[in-house]
Amino acid sequence: MTTFLLRGASAIQRMPPEVLGEIFAFSLPAGRWIEPKIDEAPLLLCRVCRRWRNIAISTPSLWSSISITVAEHHSKPQLPLIQTWLSRSGHRPLSFSIYAPANAEIAGAILEVYMPHIARWSAVALELLNSESMPRIPYGGAVALDTLDIQFGDIFSSLIYVAEVGGQLTNLFGRAPPIRDMIIRGHPALWNYLIAVEWQRLEELEVESELSLSQYIHLLRRCPHLVECTFHVGDSTGSPLPPHNMITPHLRHIEILSYSSLASLFDILTLPALESIILRFPTVPIEEAPTWCQGPFIACLQRSACKLTHFTLKSARISDADFLECLRHMPLLETLTVVAYGRETIITDHVVRALTYSDEGVPQGICPRLSGIIFGSFSVGTTDGLIGDMVESRWVEDGPEGVDTIPACLTNVHVCLPESHEADIRCLKALEREGLSLLIDSNTVEQGP
């Protein structure tokens, strides 16, 4: 036994340093940014033996990522370790996050350390107190920047900060930035700086500012290769959209939280690649709630001829008849999520019967590929037993490999039901014992957007 262990140790010691370095890379913590910890790689590797320490220190891939948190009076890790970490990264692309909502001075000192290496910035997340945290950024210097998540804490307090931040963003982006994935949070006026850029490579965009529909349309025109986007639409009153149609050929996923009607948006959008759409509306008083855009939404689906597979609708003021018509235009739908506006039920007997297959398996023409449903709080207003019957009618065995069954097997069900729906609950529990993935909640808490 002792001889075997010695041979094992000798083999490790004879392993070439570059091979051992590759193995070390697999021991790094999961996640894009590494939080330095003494009992985790890469710092842990430096404590095993002298050879491992030397190999770890000379392996730049172990030190190219770091997560930094700035408290009120200090940073974690502190600046000397950050500088050491950076010095060991060689010429590798840099991934770093700085969470510093409370101390602009320390955050600025850390960014000063990283600024000479801006050409190596690859994935960067910054949450800063204000623009004073950022040292001067050279125009177009971030030539390798692929991912950016940026937020400024008190930017809402003054438009002065908007100009300062906008100037910094202009320098960071340059004329045609290489960024493919971006999240930006801040004052709505920042959109003026985004619109000035040609986003030829941008594929994923999340803007957590309440812009108007017109502003978003202008932004979309600058992103010809956009694949995923998330928008927060504010009050769009007095913000007319261009009258001509706009095609976004690559957009597969869109998520919108809107405080306005989306009718004018769907009037002009054509989304041929769309696969997933999430529409969320605020739970505000009824007189402030946006109206549902039935005609434009249906027209957009027809015009786009897209293969929509995932549909989420939260807090929309939509009738069961309009909702059912929407589903009739989604023949390839696989997952459906519905949360009602207040206590206005959407899933009625009429909707559930249309989703139910007969004993002979003759389809009603509604979503034959559906495999997962979520009916959230107060969205269900059906006769007891109908939900169970619908799910049971879609609880079918898979066909031979490569052959689709009609309907597809409904395998995941999350539904909010009152306890009085005993027949529904009994049927669903029986299917759960057969393998249905089931979650039943009671209608006790209303869900927000």
What is the per-residue pLDDT for 343? 76
> Is position 346 within any domain?
yes
Residues 153 and 164 in one domain: yes
> Is position 196 within any domain?
no
Which residue, 288, 33, 7, is CA-closest to 149? 33
Distance from C-alpha of 409 to C-alpha of 241, rounded to nearest angstrom: 42
Q: Which residues of the chain have pLDDT under 50?
A: 1-8, 155-156, 362, 399-400, 403, 444-449
Residues 282 and 365 in one domain: no
Q: Long-range contacts for 243-246 (Cβ within 8 Å, ≥24 apart)?
A: 243/268, 244/268, 245/269, 245/270, 245/303, 246/217, 246/220, 246/221, 246/270
> Is position 409 within any domain?
yes
Residues 318 and 447 in one domain: yes
Read off the pLDDT of residues 234-252 as tens digits, 9 standing for 90 and up.
Answer: 876 656 666 678 899 999 9
Domain boundary among 151, 183, 215: 183
Distance from C-alpha of 371 to C-alpha of 53, rounded to nearest angstrom: 51
What is the per-residue pLDDT for 4? 44
> Is position 195 within any domain?
no
Residues 319 and 420 in one domain: yes
Task: Calculate ∠ Cα 265-201-25, nearest 5°.
Answer: 125
Residues 320 and 255 in one domain: no
Residues 247 and 220 in one domain: yes
Residues 314 and 447 in one domain: yes
> Is position 189 within any domain?
no
Domain count, the chain: 4
The residue behind tokens 């770091």 is: 66
Question: What pairs with residue 258 in β-bridges?
Answer: 233
Residues 48 and 114 in one domain: no
Residues 387 and 434 in one domain: yes
In sequence order, what DSSP letters do the residues of 237-283 get, joined into one string? TT-PPPSS-EE-TT--EEEEEESS--HHHHHHEE-TT--EEEEE---
**Strands of 59-200, DSSP E:** 65-70, 75-76, 94-100, 121-128, 147-152, 181-185
Domain boundary among 117, 148, 183: 183
Question: What pairs with residue 229 in β-bridges?
Answer: 205, 254
Domain boundary among 308, 338, 373: 308
Amino acid (one-letter) located at 43: L
Distance from C-alpha of 204 to C-alpha of 181, rounded to nearest angstrom: 5
Residues 246 and 303 in one domain: yes
Residues 303 and 315 in one domain: no
> Is position 381 within any domain?
yes
> Is position 197 within any domain?
no
> Is position 52 within any domain?
yes
Residues spanned by the domain of 176? 69-183
What is the per-residue pLDDT for 75? 93
Q: What's the pTM? A: 0.86
Q: Which two tokens stand for residue 222?
A: 């600058």
DSSP state letter for 408: P
Read off the pLDDT of residues 414-425 as tens digits, 9 standing for 90 and up.
Answer: 999 988 999 999
Residues 146 and 212 in one domain: no
Which residue, 42, 153, 141, 39, is CA-closest to 99? 153
